[in-house]
Structure 1
């Protein structure tokens, strides 16, 4: 018996899907409609596969999936989505999801994905694979370009930029690095000049493309 968690902001959708999947003799289904409920049920240890809707308006199930994996590395995650956004698909796979199923593909496609992840496989619709690979290659090229540009910064300038990317204020950066606010402003001006950028937001965006995490 496979214990399956379904989570989607749209309660009617998740309840109907639970009824359809519950008809399978080897599935035991729990349906929830809030990320906190999904996290509580998933952490309990009674779930084998969590099917999370990653495009809902009310909750962040990507973060829920990440938290579930931190608490339960053995749990398998399947993402369901209304559309086929390749950037979201790439983020989903990086988070640790093993499968992606467009909602339009129906119950049979979801069952195939669940079976695949239980076998230890990754399941992505074939038509999306080409777009996904192209997206990943573009991202890799952007990261290399950003890293090359950031190499022009001094160690201290990079520390200031990393703090900016984490959302710190000038005063917080000054306190953390034990420098004056005026020195922070000077470093920021030097960063913009070396990177040939006009705003701190543009510098932060470049830093994040290079893999420096945000808040």
Structure 2
């Protein structure tokens, strides 16, 4: 049973998400929070598997709450926003969010997103991915310290990370690199461990910040 904490300052959204998720046989909403400060406390007390986090809230916003929750718990955070051009896209992922979705998402897509992230994968809405890459491209040169850490990876792990940054799935990466899906999963697990990253979303950010991938180039 996946334990979910729903965080949104609007009762309508909070209640709607709770109703949808509680209707699933493998999910249970263990708590609701109306702001980031309350979310941090409840995440620590309830230890949810997934936190469904609104990004724009008064007092403590979703970015700050995500950073605190990811630092103090094992919960994975899926951030929700009304806008695909939200300036908080990069900040939320850098803070540790594993997913970033739009609030107009269909209920089946929302449920699937939670299952995907709970399984250890990352999920970004296509329009949000484009925005993220654009933001990363505007940030300029690679961070030397991060570039140095690329030396910890094998050539195949670097190739895998490069494909991850393009938004490819394990199956697609396997096809591109002419290896099995199992081999790709092993490479992904190894590179995340070596780089100290939570999941694929963090790997995408790292790939651009380290200079391994330059937006607009292959």
TM range (shorter): 0.5 to 0.7
How far apart in 2 are the matches of 1:69 and 1:52? 12
Deviations 1:20-46 (Å, cap 9, x if unpaired)? Answer: 211111111022212222111101253
> Which structure has the highest helix share of the two?
1
Match of 2:122 in 1: 122
Number of equivalenced pairs: 143
Counterpart contact for 1:86–1:135, Cα < 8 Å = no
Match of 2:180 in 1: none
Runs of 4+ that moved beyond 4 A: 141-144
Match of 1:132 in 2: 132
Matches within 5 A, 1:56-135: 56-57=57-58, 59-72=60-73, 74-135=74-135
1:57 positional shift: 4.2
How far apart in 2 are the matches of 1:87 and 1:142? 21
1:52 positional shift: 0.6
Matches within 5 A, 1:2-17: 2-17=2-17
Call closer, same or farther: CA 1:70–1:142 in 2, change over 3 Å. closer
TM-score (norm 2): 0.60
Match of 1:44 in 2: 45
TM-score (norm 1): 0.61
For structure 2, the 5+ residue unaligned runs are: 145-218
How far apart in 2 are the matches of 1:142 and 1:47? 35
Bigger Cα Rg = 1
Call closer, same or farther: CA 1:35–1:135 in 2, change over 3 Å. closer
1:143 positional shift: 8.1
Q: Which has the higher contact order (CA 8 A, sep 6+)?
A: 2
Match of 1:54 in 2: 55
For structure 1, the 5+ residue unaligned runs are: 145-215
Taking only aligned residues, the RMSD between alpha carbons, in angstroms, comes to 2.1
Counterpart contact for 1:11–1:32, Cα < 8 Å = no
Counterpart contact for 2:89–2:128, Cα < 8 Å = no
